[in-house]
């Protein structure tokens, strides 16, 4: 943004129209990046009017930005492509207060006597810690850390899936874990994700982790996804589930009405905190 601000001030000083984007593809793309970062998505029709160029020109810009990994093209525009968020240990220290609020709301959705699955993830770890100890639950997880937190609650039957623990996700996501999950059925599944948008659904960065999540969702009567605001709307590399496969989203209250309505259009129930 500093380079772009300097560019604008210089053009103003020279008496040049700063909105002359037609001959300035690099500056168009700088602005498009900025809008993606602020809004999570862009529409070709709106950008064409704003920048005074054709929609064909905007689609060409989005194609170049997509090739750079900045966004993913969707019908009529593009969605921001999130950068990979690093190892589990790094993510655990980020947005702790926000995750705690979301986790507490998720915990209130669980009913005594249920059999639930809790996916690996830092928000889901906070949820496991927030679950009331007086509930009688059967809880299955692929996260050793979540299992350890649940074992502190004496009424819980805790089952932890086996296999190699993946460093990036903090959980077991390989074929042994998938084989185990296919023999289980859940009232609720709390599934982690890296990004979500109405067009692309729930997405993630690691192929094996995403394939594992698909296997879990197939065994769940109700699928619940909890996400912080920076993950909506956005897209990662691999699809976990279409919006039609998600029953409930727990999100921050600053989610835009447009996106909340779009998700509700896919019959997703929205809880905000």
- Is residue 38 domain-shared with residue 147, that is, in the same domain? no
Check whether residue 93 and residue 15 sit in a common domain.
Answer: no
| Low-confidence residues of the chain: pLDDT under 50 | 1-11, 13-19
CA distance 54 to 117: 49
- Distance CA(14)–CA(7), nearest Å, equals 11
Among 80, 114, 130, give the residue marking a domain's end.
Answer: 80
pLDDT for the residue 18:
47
Q: Tell me which of 61, 80, 99 is where a domain ends.
A: 80
**Same-domain check for residues 70 and 164:** no
164 plus 232 within the same structural domain: yes
Domain final residue, candidates 80, 101, 120: 80
CATH assignment of the domain containing 31: 1.10.10.10
- Supply 1's token pair: 């943004």
Report the alpha-carbon distance of residue 32 to residue 252 in Å, rounded.
Answer: 25
How many domains are contained in the chain? 2
Give dist(CA 30, CA 117) in Å, integer.
Answer: 43
User: Are 105 and 65 in a shared domain?
Assistant: no
Residues 73 and 116 in one domain: no
Regarding whether 71 and 180 lie in a shared domain, the answer is no
CATH number at residue 228: 3.40.50.1360
pLDDT score for 23: 62
Is residue 98 domain-shared with residue 37, that is, in the same domain? no
In this structure, are 223 and 137 located in the same domain?
yes
* 202 in the same domain as 224: yes
Over residues 67-125, the pLDDT tens digits come to 888 888 888 898 888 777 666 656 666 778 899 999 999 999 999 999 999 999 999 99
Q: Tokens 């819980």, residue?
A: 156
Within this chain, do residues 37 and 120 fall inside the same structural domain, yes or no?
A: no
Q: What integer pLDDT is reported at residue 3 of this predicted model?
A: 47
What confidence score (pLDDT) does residue 15 get?
A: 43
What is the CB neighbour count within 10 angstroms for residue 34? 12
pLDDT on residue 88: 63
Domain that holds residue 52: 2-80
Within this chain, do residues 98 and 218 fall inside the same structural domain, yes or no?
Answer: yes
Residue 179's CB: how many other CB atoms inside 10 A? 13
Residue 248 burial (C-beta neighbours within 10 Å; 0-12, 13-18, 19+): middle
Contact present, 216 and 117 (Cβ < 8 Å): yes
Tell me if 222 sits within 8 A of 247, measured CB to CB: yes
Of all residues in the chain, the percent with pLDDT exceeding 90 is 65
Report the C-alpha gap between 135 and 112 in whole angstroms.
5
pLDDT > 70: what percent of the chain?
A: 88
Per-residue confidence (pLDDT) for residue 149, from 0 to 100: 97
């Amino acid at each position: 943004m500093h380079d772009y601000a300097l560019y604008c001030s210089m053009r103003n000083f020279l008496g040049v129209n700063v909105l002359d984007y037609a001959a300035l593809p690099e500056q168009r793309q700088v602005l498009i990046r900025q809008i993606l970062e602020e809004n999570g998505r862009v529409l070709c029709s709106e950008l064409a009017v704003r920048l005074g160029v054709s929609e064909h020109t905007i689609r060409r810009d989005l194609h170049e930005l997509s090739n750079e990994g900045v966004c993913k093209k969707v019908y009529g525009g593009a969605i921001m492509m999130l950068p990979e968020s690093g190892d589990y240990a790094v993510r655990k220290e980020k947005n702790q207060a926000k995750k705690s609020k979301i986790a507490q709301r998720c915990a209130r959705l669980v009913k005594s006597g249920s059999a639930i699955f809790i996916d690996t993830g830092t928000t889901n770890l906070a949820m496991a810690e927030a679950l009331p100890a007086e509930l009688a639950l059967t809880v299955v997880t692929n996260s050793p850390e979540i299992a350890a937190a649940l074992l502190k609650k004496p009424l819980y039957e805790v089952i932890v899936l086996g296999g190699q623990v993946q460093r990036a996700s903090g959980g077991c996501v390989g074929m042994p874990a998938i084989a185990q999950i296919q023999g289980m059925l859940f009232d609720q599944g709390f599934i982690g994700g890296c990004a979500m948008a109405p067009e692309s659904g729930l997405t993630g960065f690691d192929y094996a982790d995403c394939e594992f999540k698909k296997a879990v969702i197939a065994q769940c009567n109700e699928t619940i996804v909890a996400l912080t605001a920076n993950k909506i709307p956005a897209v990662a590399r691999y699809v976990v589930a279409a919006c039609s496969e998600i029953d409930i989203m727990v999100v921050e209250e600053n989610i835009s009405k447009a996106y909340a309505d779009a998700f509700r259009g896919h019959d997703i129930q929205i809880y905000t905190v």
